[in-house]
Structure 1
Amino acid sequence: MDVPLHDDLDGQVALVTGANRGLGARIAADLADLGAVVYAGVRDADYEAPGDQRVVELDVTDEESIRAAVSCIEVEADRLDVLVNNAGITDPSGNTLVDDSVDDVDAVLQTNLRGPMLLAKFALPLLLRRPGGRVVNLSSGMGALGEEMTGGAPAYRVSKTGLNGLTAYLHGEYRDDGLLANSVCPGWVRTDMGGESAPRSVAAGADTPVWLSRFAPDAPGGRFWRDREVVDW
């Protein structure tokens, strides 16, 4: 799809959650290569981010940690142009809802849905300071309502459906204020979560999230994307 894009992200600030490995690390690196000041959101404050990335301690399951991370970015950079909600976990993939423990369900929903929702809540004042602030939510085809939801991982599937709902809400509520919120399915990627048998490289999985992070103010929002094409919710 032909959409207006920033040629580079010089002068812009991005926060990527779960930036210490896998997709998050690659997205953070690619955004930094485009010139963005990248805050690598990680739970381990001793993490040594590559290049010029700035480490910000961030546990997406902890409200105070989220508040502190956003406050740090406001104090240091006084702006936020891109929020990439990448951090996520899954329940045991072969489990049905009957088999999943309550702790599994709670942990997945807290990380994959509540975390991005609170991050959006506290980051919105910064994202809305300038037209074209972007929220990129790392979702999954496993959460698409048009797909048959079988094969286990119930909490993961429902969390990603909810994350798509968050995207639709942010678009509906804040598009007139200049916010661009989009969901993206990176595909089945060879990460710790995806496993070695996954068919897609980390670079391929990161491509569309990074592309969405380059959207200019007149670009579309409120969509679900895969491989730079709109897909059904």
Structure 2
Amino acid sequence: MDRVNDTKTALVTGANKGIGLAIAQGLGAIGYTVAVGARDDGRREAAVEHLRAAGVDAFGVALDVTSDDSVAAAAAAVERTAGRLDALVNNAGIPGRADGGAQDPTTLDLDVLRTVLDTNVFGVIRVTNAMLPLLSRANSPRIVNMSSSMGSLTLRTGPVMAAYAPSKTLLNGITTQYARRFADTHVIVNACCPGYVATDFTGFQAPRTPEQGAAIAIRLATLPDDGPRGGFFDDEGAVAW
């Protein structure tokens, strides 16, 4: 069952493009076997082929973070292929529709809010809890939640997006609860902000590359055992909540 007894395995959700793909590539480059979690079969397999061409030991995992059945099947697939999980990067996220005032707080479309929360918050909980048995088999398990400074109540960066930004605020709060729960264990949980990265999310109109955005997630996914817990970080260090 366990083809990678001596190799660490990481699952990256939403890893078929952008920052997720860059995180997968970065972890693969330092020797991790990478499970590429993605909904779309074609894009997932293309990402796996891209990673393998770059010398990464990668395999695809069908994963819709909004589906209990899909997440359970993904956990079973990772167990069959790798036997355990050393790092989980909860990268999958959506901005949500913003047209027609859908994310203006005064005209907020509650269906948009529900959809965003289902992926950005409930999806993270769904995946994390399904993968905990596999993470518990690792010596130094790491969980990284991809957040955003737009969720910071102090910084309040970016445009007004009354579904997306609060979803990241809630994700930050959930991250601290996981960290408290695992305070006396070997599981280390943190959140991070990749910065303003050129992806389809930003219309590719941003100064940072996906590789630059991925760097903090890779760092947190590979923390030493005495690394920080329950924090919110970017390249510069701690981010204000």
Please point out which of 111, 124, 128 is paired with 1:116: 124
In the alignment, is residue 44 of structure 1 matched against residue 40 of structure 2?
Answer: yes
Counterpart for residue 70 of structure 2: 65
Give 1:202's match in structure 2, choosing from 194, 206, 210.
Answer: 210
Segments of structure 2 that go 5 or more residues without pairing to the other structure are 1-5
Which shows bigger deviation, 173-182 or 183-192? Answer: 173-182
1:66 Cα deviation (Å)? 0.6
The CA distance in 2 between the partners of 1:130 and 1:29, in whole Å, is 21
* Most deviating of 205-214 and 145-154: 145-154
**TM-score for both structures, normalised by structure 2:** 0.88
Alignment-derived partner of residue 7 in structure 1:
none
Residue in 2 aligned with 1:99? 107
1:89 maps onto 2:94 in alignment: yes
For residues 55 and 31 of structure 1, the distance between their equivalents in structure 2, rounded to whole angstroms, comes to: 15
What is the CA–CA distance in structure 1 between the aligned matches of 2:136 and 2:236, rounded to whole Å? 25
Q: Secondary structure at the match of 2:84?
A: coil
Q: For the Cα contact (< 8 Å) 2:149–2:156, is it kept in 1?
A: no
208-217 or 126-135: which moved more? 126-135
Query: By how many angstroms is 1:129 displaced?
Result: 2.3
**Cα deviation 1:117-139 (Å, max 9, x = unaligned):** 11111111221223421000000
Whole-Å separation in 1 of the counterparts to 2:156 and 2:238: 19
For residue 3 of structure 2, what is the aligned residue in structure 1? none
Specify which structure has the bigger relative contact order, considering alpha-carbon pairs within 8 angstroms and separated by 6 or more residues. 1
For the residue of structure 2 that corresponds to 1:146, the secondary structure is: coil
In the other structure, the counterpart of 2:58 is 53
Instruction: Give 2:160's aligned residue.
Output: 152
CA distance in 2, matches of 1:41, 1:130: 19
How far off is 1:224 after superposition? 0.4
Per-residue deviation, 1:102: 2.3
In the alignment, is residue 21 of structure 1 matched against residue 17 of structure 2? yes
- The equivalent position to 2:85 in structure 1, one of 55, 76, 80, is 80
Q: Indicate the SS of the match to 2:34.
A: strand
Q: Deviations over 1:133-189 (max 9, x none)?
A: 100000000001212377321111111011111210111001212111010000111
- Deviates further, 46-55 or 139-148: 46-55
* TM-score, normalised with respect to structure 1: 0.91
2:133 equivalent in structure 1: 125
Contact 1:91–1:100 (CA under 8 A) maintained in structure 2: no
State the secondary structure of the residue aligned to 1:193.
Answer: helix
Q: Kindly tell me the number of residue pairs found equivalent between the two proteins.
A: 224
Shift of 1:99: 2.8
Determine the C-alpha separation between the residues in 2 that align with 1:13 and 1:150.
34
Contact 1:45-1:56 within 8 A present in 2 as well:
no
**For the aligned residues, what is the CA RMSD?**
1.6
Deviations 1:192-219, CA, capped at 9 Å, x for gaps: 0022221211111111111111112221
Name the CA shift for 1:153/1:56 in 2 (closer, same or farther; >3 Å): same
Moved more, 86-95 or 27-36: 86-95
In 1, the alpha carbon distance for the partners of 2:221 and 2:157 equals: 29
Could you tell me how far apart the structure 1 residues matched to 2:167 and 2:158 are? 15
CA distance in structure 2 between the aligned counterparts of 1:182 and 1:128, rounded to whole angstroms: 17
